[in-house]
Amino acid sequence: MKIMFVAYLDGWMGIHIKQFATGFINFGHEIKMLNYKQMERGLNPFAKSKNAKHTFRHRALEKEVKAFRPDLIIFVVAHLKFDFAYIKSFFKGSIAVYDMDGPGWKCYDSLDWIKNIDLLLTVSRVSQDFLREKEISAEYLPHGVDLNYAKPLTLSSKEKDFYGAPLTFVGRPTARRIRIFNNVADQGLVLWGRRWSRSKECPVDALRKATRSSKDIIGDNVIKIYSSSDIMLNILREPLDDPPTIMSLQVFLVPATATCLLTEWVEELEEAFEPGKELLVFKTEEEFKELAIKYSADKKQLMKIGENGRKRCLSDHTHEKRVAQLLDFIS
């Protein structure tokens, strides 16, 4: 089968989408990757209007479709950037759209476009239930992980000193995260992400001092952080807090490195991992603090949880597993 991906292929999302696509390649499928940001630039650098970008995206897509002749196109978009009814006029294969944002996904502002696609995928059970209430079919497909990328690393003493910490978080500050992390700022907490060092975005001195780099960290360096930390922390952004939903990429990437993850409970979590055995889960801020302090003192137990988490990823959460599920949806 020939499969085309249309997605944002820069940064951490680009890494993830390319690894997901490799899962199809490993099944013998032929893949074509398109970056919609590049597609919308066209040949005229001065044509920057919304309508111009819309035209460029569709012209570029039609050209690529005619050249590659895919059987399936998978769109991973943050906003509704494509006219699927028009795409159907020149593409006779299957169209899948993958919601990786959950209830706050901008494409849900209007649902009329869904009638022009063949498969809607979502990483959120909450979104799936919302759509079913409106008699719209959506298939639940959580993230997967590349176990050759996210894996335990053997680091030098210098790298361990730089990347490692008792408690570590990678991501941006939010009011809620600031409040929660302030409770463990004195427990060896290290924060990664340029915004933590800015007083305007992080007004708490103790947390700014916990920032190890004034630059964002992506790619292999993130895996070094995961692999050398005692406990990695994962806290939802506010839009996903009520109701708690979406297992973020970190929920799979961190256990895959055999590091213990302390993550916020979400509806989908217990389908994927066994709390207390394969990762640690909290539901309240008090429970977060209690677990962080308790397990920081038990390195042996942290290692055991990390090892169990990687085994679970190997058995249930590879990209190849997700590809098989997706292909079953369209068979």
321 falls within a domain: no
330 falls within a domain: no
Give dist(CA 36, CA 81) in Å, integer.
Answer: 9
Q: Within this chain, do residues 179 and 292 fall inside the same structural domain, yes or no?
A: yes
Query: Which domain range does residue 120 map to?
Result: 2-141
Place 45 in a pLDDT band, splitting at 50, 70 and 90.
low
Total domains in the chain come to 2
Place 54 in a pLDDT band, splitting at 50, 70 and 90.
confident
328 falls within a domain: no
42 pLDDT above the threshold of 70: no
Q: Tell me the DSSP string of 67-83.
A: HH--SEEEEE-SS----
Place 43 in a pLDDT band, splitting at 50, 70 and 90.
low
269 pLDDT above the threshold of 90: yes
Mind listing the pLDDT tens digit for each residue in 150-190? 999 999 999 999 999 999 999 999 999 999 999 999 999 99
- Per cent of the chain over pLDDT 90 is 87
Q: What's the pLDDT score for residue 241?
A: 73
226 falls within a domain: yes
Give dist(CA 190, CA 311) in Å, integer.
Answer: 27
Q: Within this chain, do residues 129 and 223 fall inside the same structural domain, yes or no?
A: no
Give dist(CA 308, CA 131) in Å, integer.
Answer: 34
Average pLDDT of every residue of the chain: 94
122 falls within a domain: yes
Q: Within this chain, do residues 217 and 260 fall inside the same structural domain, yes or no?
A: yes
Q: What's the pLDDT score for residue 38?
A: 87
Mind listing the pLDDT tens digit for each residue in 97-114? 999 999 989 999 999 999
44 falls within a domain: yes
Q: Within this chain, do residues 20 and 127 fall inside the same structural domain, yes or no?
A: yes
Mean pLDDT of 2-19: 95
Q: Within this chain, do residues 242 and 280 fall inside the same structural domain, yes or no?
A: yes
Mean pLDDT of 30-44: 84
Q: Within this chain, do residues 181 and 308 fall inside the same structural domain, yes or no?
A: yes
> For the domain that residue 280 is a member of, what is the CATH number?
3.40.50.2000
Q: Tell me the DSSP string of 26-39.
A: TTT-EEEEEEHHHH
278 pLDDT above the threshold of 70: yes
Q: Within this chain, do residues 44 and 171 fall inside the same structural domain, yes or no?
A: no
Q: Within this chain, do residues 312 and 168 fall inside the same structural domain, yes or no?
A: yes
Give dist(CA 276, CA 103) in Å, integer.
Answer: 28
Mind listing the pLDDT tens digit for each residue in 214-248? 888 889 999 999 999 999 999 998 877 788 899 99
Sheet with 94-99: list strands edge to edge: 30-35, 2-7, 72-76, 94-99, 119-122, 139-140
Domain end marker among 109, 141, 173 = 141
283 pLDDT above the threshold of 70: yes
6 falls within a domain: yes
Q: What's the pLDDT score for residue 49?
A: 80
> How does DSSP classify residue 165?
-
Q: What is the largest CA-CA distance in the chain?
A: 61
146 falls within a domain: no
